[in-house]
């Protein structure tokens, strides 16, 4: 998506070879016009696939997931990054390792919002090592839901996330694919829609 690439180049900031800051339009301050266009792009790519829900991990994926769910006319479900304070048998839970924060966290999904009848599209802001997406898929499979695919705004193509997910049978659709980056420099690969 050329608009997203242009926004990354004009407002994003590569801090080093691994970290790309996009907090001015994706994950601290959100550009609603861009998010609406992102939602439409994901909906257009995944239309006609019987998607019943859009799922994201809190919090950076909420805006694009909500816009995608709106464009598809289906509910959005948020996977929570908080441990259950009480043992709760109404939750599916799994542990995820965060690449950016270099920590582990517990990802939770309420059993009442996903069932075996759901065909789910996962939306996330970044794909790097694929840990978050793999954890989301694990939770959805515990619920016996099927996975329509993963839509990501920014894929760090130089990291193993895509290969890992594709090897597991998950389609990955990225709007912007970063081939390389370093301090104040970002190079793109052709996006999946080009």
DSSP 160: S
165 is known to lie in a ligand binding site: no
20 is known to lie in a ligand binding site: yes
Q: What is the pLDDT of residue 6?
A: 96
Q: Could you tell me which residues are beta bridge partners of residue 108?
A: 80, 93
What does the alpha-carbon distance between residue 181 and residue 128 come to, in Å, rounded to a whole number? 13
Q: What is the pLDDT of residue 49?
A: 96
88 is known to lie in a ligand binding site: no
Q: What is the pLDDT of residue 86?
A: 58
Q: What is the pLDDT of residue 96?
A: 84
Q: In this predicted model, what pLDDT tens digit does every residue of 129-158 receive, in sequence order?
A: 999 999 999 999 999 999 999 999 999 999
The whole model's pTM is what?
0.93
Q: What is the pLDDT of residue 180?
A: 96
DSSP 190: P
128 is known to lie in a ligand binding site: yes
**3-state helix/strand/coil string of 8-59:** HHHHCEECCCCCEECHHHHHCCCCHHHHHHHHHHHHHHHCCCCCCEEEEECC
- Low pLDDT (below 70) residues in the chain: 83-88, 99-101, 194
41 is known to lie in a ligand binding site: no
Q: What is the pLDDT of residue 46?
A: 98
Phi, psi angles (nearest 5°) of residue 104: -100, 150
156 is known to lie in a ligand binding site: yes
What does the alpha-carbon distance between residue 148 and residue 110 come to, in Å, rounded to a whole number? 20
Task: Say if CB 94 and CB 131 are below 8 A apart.
Answer: no
Q: In this predicted model, what pLDDT tens digit does every residue of 106-115 receive, in sequence order?
A: 888 989 999 9
Q: What is the pLDDT of residue 84?
A: 57
Tell me the DSSP string of 62-113: HHHHHHHHHHHT--EEEEB-S--SS--TTEEEEEEEETTTTEEEEEEEETTS
133 is known to lie in a ligand binding site: no
Stated as kind and residue range, the H or E segment containing 5 is helix 2-11
Task: Say if CB 139 and CB 111 are below 8 A apart.
Answer: no
What does the alpha-carbon distance between residue 148 and residue 99 come to, in Å, rounded to a whole number? 24
Query: 2-189 has which fold?
Result: Rossmann fold (3.40.50)
Enumerate the domain spans of the chain.
2-189
Tell me the DSSP string of 108-159: EEETTS--TT-EEEEEEEEESSSHHHHHHHHHHHHTT-EEEEEEEEEEETTS
């Amino acid at each position: 998506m050329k608009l997203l690439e242009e926004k990354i180049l004009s407002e994003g900031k590569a801090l080093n070879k691994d970290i790309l800051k996009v907090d001015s339009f994706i994950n601290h301050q959100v550009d609603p016009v861009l998010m609406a266009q992102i939602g439409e792009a994901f909906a257009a790519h995944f239309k006609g696939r019987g998607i019943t829900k859009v799922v994201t991990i809190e919090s950076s994926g909420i805006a694009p997931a909500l816009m995608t769910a709106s464009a598809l006319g289906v509910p959005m479900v948020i996977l929570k990054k908080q441990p259950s304070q009480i043992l709760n048998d109404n939750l599916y839970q799994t542990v995820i390792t965060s690449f950016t924060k270099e920590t582990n966290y517990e990802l939770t999904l309420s059993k009442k919002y996903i069932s075996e009848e759901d065909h789910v599209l996962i939306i996330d802001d970044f794909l790097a090592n694929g840990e978050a997406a793999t954890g989301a898929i694990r939770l959805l499979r515990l619920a016996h839901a099927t996975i329509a695919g993963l839509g990501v705004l920014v894929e760090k193509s130089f990291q193993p996330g895509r290969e890992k997910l594709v090897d597991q049978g998950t389609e990955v659709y990225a709007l912007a694919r970063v081939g390389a980056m370093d301090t104040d420099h970002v190079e793109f690969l052709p996006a999946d829609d080009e």
